[in-house]
A = this chain, B = another copy of it.
């Protein structure tokens, strides 16, 4: 039985890599800025070098015969069966790129490493990581929702990834809940991301403050500079009991709850695992979200509704990419 793998999370800013033992979790890890200026082939060289270095390091203590492969989570639309990455939003100029095969070739030709490589969408990889090692491990079916600069998600059904017919499933950030509203993101009106993406939460606070302005405590936290207000300030103020900040998080939770209600109505998913930087606000968001989720669904859908925090933070993608290499996950391409 293979028992260790290399998990990679390819982001527009950083590449995070780890050696992951199937039972013990992360053994070694590394990270470095993505050399996106070098274009796809340059990034492939960087990825192969990182993976090869980690492999050598791990081989000193682990059996090469137990190596399951290199799993790579990447932004954008990924065709896992074909190993293709299409138009990654934070890696301009990549177009459609055969990420899996290029990385496999480079590992073999430049580093003498002939190993299995798989690629997966980063949000899907994170959801799978949470399913196997994190906040979703108790659930057969759930949706991971990541709240950060953007709002994204991945869906686990019957403990397997649901990728959708073309591999783009889970885009809860583009779910429309206010189709006539004034907020727009990426050209679409009234989406969840247009309402509670990181910047929008700050805007919400400024708007709600109105002429009266933010609360005294928030003004203090942002050093009287409203442009410097961040979700962290809102979180700190709310935890200190600042009523204005609490209301903002309450509102964010309600909006999230409406989005989750749509997932429940459509897919009958009743468990939600919430990750991403904004999810640090925890119960400040989760409680109003759960109340709203109940209000926004039929009583016949209320059984088992649950919202829990993700547990792997920004390591979920590495965990999931590695987990997909182990026999515990279905191989990419084995489902629709």
Interface residues of A (CB under 8 A from B): 77, 86-87, 140-141, 155, 157-158, 162-172, 174-181, 186-190, 255, 258, 261-263, 265-270, 295-298, 300-301, 303-304, 335-336
Contacts and interface: CB of A to CB of B under 8 A. Distances in A.
A267 B177 CA distance: 16
Contact of A269 (B164, B187, B255): B164
Contacts of A175: 262, 265-266
Given A140-B336, A158-B336, A336-B141, A300 B168 contact: yes
A82 to B, nearest CB: 15
B266 A303 contact: no
A265 B180 CA distance: 18
Given A178-B180, A179-B178, A297-B188, A164 B304 contact: no
Contact of A300 (B77, B141, B255, B296): B77
B169 A266 contact: yes
Given A158-B336, A297-B188, A141 B165 contact: yes
Contact of A86 (B190, B270, B300): B300
13 contacts: A86-B300, A87-B300, A141-B164, A141-B336, A157-B165, A158-B336, A164-B268, A168-B300, A171-B266, A176-B265, A177-B179, A263-B266, A266-B266
Tell me what chain A mostly uses at the interface: helix, strand, loop, or mixed.
loop
Contacts of A165: 140-141, 157, 268-270
B176 A296 contact: yes
Please give the count of copies of this chain that the complex contains. 2
Nearest to A255: B179
Nearest to A303: B166
Contacts of A180: 178, 181
Given A164-B267, A268-B166, A270-B165, A176 B262 contact: yes
A179 B258 contact: yes
A169 B261 contact: no
B301 A168 contact: yes
Chain B CB within 10 A, most for which of A77, A165, A177, A255: A165
A135 B296 CA distance: 32
A172 B258 CA distance: 14
- 9 closest A-B pairs by beta carbon, nearest first, are A164-B268, A174-B265, A169-B268, A158-B336, A171-B265, A141-B165, A179-B258, A168-B268, A177-B179
Contacts of A87: 300
Contact of A188 (B163, B174, B298): B298
Given A158-B336, A169-B266, A179-B296, 9 more contacts: A141-B164, A163-B268, A167-B268, A168-B268, A169-B267, A171-B265, A176-B258, A178-B180, A180-B181
